[in-house]
Amino acid sequence: MIELHRVSKVYSVGPVKVPALREVSFRINKGEFVVLTGPSGAGKTTLLRLLYRDDLPSEGDVEVLGANLVGLGRSQVAALRRSIGVVFQDSKLLPVRTVYENVAFVLRVLGTPRREITARAFDALRAVGLSARAQAYPAQLSQGEAQRAALARAIVRRPPLLLADEPTGNLDEAMAAEIVAVLKDIGAGGTTIVLATHQARLAATLRRRTLTLGGGRVMKDEG
C-alpha cells in the first residue's frame, strides 16, 4: 500500500538548508491503521505531504497504491489523489456551502452522476454521525462537528487510503475521542489510515502501530 525507501526531504530557506526528513524507510500494508507521532517539527506533516504528492522527496522513493510518486505527471497525480482522502487540523470546509454541499462538492467535481451524489453524501455523513447537521453551515458547527464533516468529505469517495494530519489538534479530549472513534470505524471497514498527531497520549490510547518521528528520522516503530 505505502512504501518509503530512504526518503529525505530538505527545504531551502534562502541559502540555509533545513532537513525535514532523513532517510526514512517503512512499509504500511493494506488495511493498517498507523499512527505517526512525534513532537512539532518532527516531520509528520512533511511525510504526509509526500504521501499525497503535495511535495516531492529530495532523495529516495515513495510508493503509494502501487505508484512511485517521483516522476508522476499532473494527470497521474490527480488520478492518485482520487484514491486518497486527506483531513487536516483545520477542517478546510468551504464556508459558503452547507455541510451537505461541502461533501457533495467533491463528488460533483469528480463528475459523479447526480442521482448517486445525494445517497453517497448522506452515507458519508451517517458514517461520521452528522446527517442531522447536513444543512448547517460550517460557522454553525462545533469544532468537533466541523472535523467530522471534513472526515465525511474525505471518505465520500470511499478511498482505500485516508491520511489525517492532526485532525484532533484543535479539539478538546471529548471531541478528539469522537474523531478517533469515527476513524476506527472507517479503519474497520478496510480503509488504510495514517493518522499524524503530536498528542502522545492519544497515540497511546489508540493501541495501533505507531511510528515515532524525531528530527526527521523514524525513532520507533511499535505495535
> Grid coordinates 469515527 are at which residue?
182
Using the rule CB under 8 A, is 139 a contact of another protein? no
Using the rule CB under 8 A, is 116 a contact of another protein? no
Q: Which residues of 94-123 are buried (b: 16+ CB within 10 A; e: fewer)?
A: eeeebbbbbbbbbbeeeebeeeebeebbbe
Determine which residue in the list 27, 108, 126, 207 makes contact with another protein, applying CB under 8 A: 108
Using the rule CB under 8 A, is 109 a contact of another protein? yes
Determine which residue in the list 2, 50, 64, 86 makes contact with another protein, applying CB under 8 A: 86
Name the region of 88 (left: φ>0; alpha: ψ -120 to 50; beta: rest).
Answer: beta
Cβ neighbours around 30 below 10 Å, total: 12
Using the rule CB under 8 A, is 132 a contact of another protein? no
Sheet holding 192-197, edge to edge: 84-87, 161-165, 192-197, 33-37, 209-214, 217-222
Q: Which is nearer to another protein, 49 or 209 (CB)?
A: 49
Using the rule CB under 8 A, is 66 a contact of another protein? no
Using the rule CB under 8 A, is 105 a contact of another protein? yes
Stretch that binds another protein, among 101-109, 124-132, 180-188, 192-200 (CB under 8 A): 101-109
- Run of H or E residues at 195: strand 192-197
Size of the site for another protein (CB under 8 A): 24
Q: Which is nearer to another protein, 27 or 108 (CB)?
A: 108
Using the rule CB under 8 A, is 56 a contact of another protein? no
Stretch that binds another protein, among 19-27, 36-44, 89-97, 194-202 (CB under 8 A): 89-97
| 3-state SS record for 156-192 | CCCCCEEEEECCCCCCCHHHHHHHHHHHHHHHHCCCE
Using the rule CB under 8 A, is 74 a contact of another protein? yes
Largest CA distance in the chain: 54
- Run of H or E residues at 121: helix 114-127
Closest distance of CB 92 from another protein, Å: 7
Q: Binding mask 154-173 vs another protein (x if CB under 8 A, - otherwise)? A: ---x----------------
> For 166, phi and psi rounded to 5 degrees?
50, 50
Using the rule CB under 8 A, is 95 a contact of another protein? yes
According to DSSP, the residues that pair with 222 across neighbouring strands are 210
Using the rule CB under 8 A, is 81 a contact of another protein? yes
Instruction: Determine the number of helices (DSSP H) and then strands (DSSP E) in the chain.
Output: 7, 10
| Residues forming the site for another protein (CB under 8 A) | 52, 74-75, 77-84, 86, 92, 94-96, 105-106, 108-111, 153, 157
